Amino acid sequence: MADSVGRVQPLSGLKVLDFSTLLPGPLATLILAEAGAEVLKIERPGAGDDMRGFPPFVGKESALFALLNRGKKSLALDLKDPQAWATLEPMVRDADILVEQFRPGVMDRLGLGYERLKAINPRLVYCSITGYGQDGPKANVVGHDLTYLAEAGVLSQARLGSVPPVLAADIAGGAYPAVMNILMALRRRDVTGEGAYLDIAMAEQSLTFAVGGLAELFATGAAPGPAEWLLTGGSPRYQVYPTSDGQWLAAAPLEQKFWQRFCELIELPSDLHDDRRDAQATRSAVARMIAAKPAAHWRKLFVGEDVSCAVVATLEEAVADPQIVARNVLAHRLTVAGKEMPAFPVPVAPEFRRAPEIARAPKLGEKA
């Protein structure tokens, strides 16, 4: 099936039943929808997905919910109602993918566990996203992004004192692995005709983010302390330095040729260029020099130079960046309570995405 401009999308014709809420599952199914799948959200009558109640609001509608659920359909259904199965059974028989985000055992208690659904639809790819997986001593422990990162050891690699500004466990440890494994399961289904059960655990997936610390731990038996590894703050070549006007310069001239040019441009004393001798002394000197000039000075100085440095942008500046504009990253649009805004960017190649359009999220129970 082709989209509005005649492109055939890779997931066109696939049907997804989405029982998830909040961020990880809905982002995963948004990615599937952007690649052509038809997604039906199963929501609680009355309140629906909890994200519908999260600010910021446009009128009475949540912008967060709209960003994550545009282009989907909605079915309001009480899963505890004995009559719910009569509604769901034909949908299950016709579905290709199911995504759920309940604690382990909940879908079984609702009569919607994998084994029962597999019996009536052996081709179903059934994906469960949880904090700790379907088994093990923490399977039923509650958690959120921050606690998954804490228990995966990721936070121990940074200087603590503030909350990370990215929802890494939810997105890169939950939504993205879910999509990757769903696509692999569909590929295998093409060969075998069989579906699959996928157990995505956000805490264990988050271990991947500590790649440098894990490498050192496995190689030496001791993990680096907070901000001690090369890419977590242990090197003057990978730092965020304050400027004289209260802004920040992200400096990442890791490779020797980049580092050498960086040192020349900021006029770092030559005896400090070899940061292997005293990394702290070099870092302190670089910090003093960057702090002596405003961000505009450094931005201008580094133009056209291979030094891998950038002034930290605000979100307002980031979405207006000429590179983002030139590549039409925010070309898709969304309406929320009559207000038009950019749609949430998703990691789907342009040739696979729906054509740029003005979309919206479904009202609760809106299937058409």
Backbone phi and psi for residue 196, each to the nearest 5 degrees, phi listed first: -160, 160
170 given a catalytic annotation = yes
Quickly state the pLDDT bin for 368 (edges 50, 70, 90): low
Q: Is the pLDDT assigned to residue 3 strictly greater than 80? A: no
Of the listed 3, 144, 199, 278, which one is catalytic? 144
- Classify domain 15-208+331-359 by CATH architecture: 3-Layer(aba) Sandwich (3.40)
Lowest mean pLDDT among 93-107, 168-182, 213-227, 354-368: 354-368
Please give the model's pTM, rounded to 2 decimal places.
0.94
Question: What's the confidence (pLDDT) of residue 354?
Answer: 86
Is the per-residue pLDDT at 179 higher than 80?
yes
Amino acid in position 55? P
Cα-trace Rg, the chain: 24
Domain boundaries, the chain: 15-208+331-359, 248-311
Q: Which among 18, 145, 170, 275 is annotated as catalytic?
A: 170
Residues 12-55 have pLDDT tens digits of 999 999 999 999 999 999 999 999 999 999 999 999 999 999 99
SS percent in the chain: helix, strand, coil, step 5:
40, 15, 45
pLDDT tens figures, 258-294: 999 999 999 999 999 999 999 999 999 999 999 999 9
- Token pair 């909605």 is found at 74
CA distance 32 to 97: 10
Cβ neighbour number for residue 25 with a 10 Å cutoff: 27
End-to-end CA distance of the chain: 18
Question: What is 67-80 written as a DSSP string?
Answer: HHHTT-EEEE--TT
Q: Please confirm whether the linkage preceding 347 is cis (ω < 30° from 0).
A: no
3-state secondary structure of 314: coil
Q: CA 343 to CA 330: how far, in whole Å?
A: 7
Confirm whether 144 is a catalytic residue. Answer: yes
- Region 116-132 average pLDDT: 98
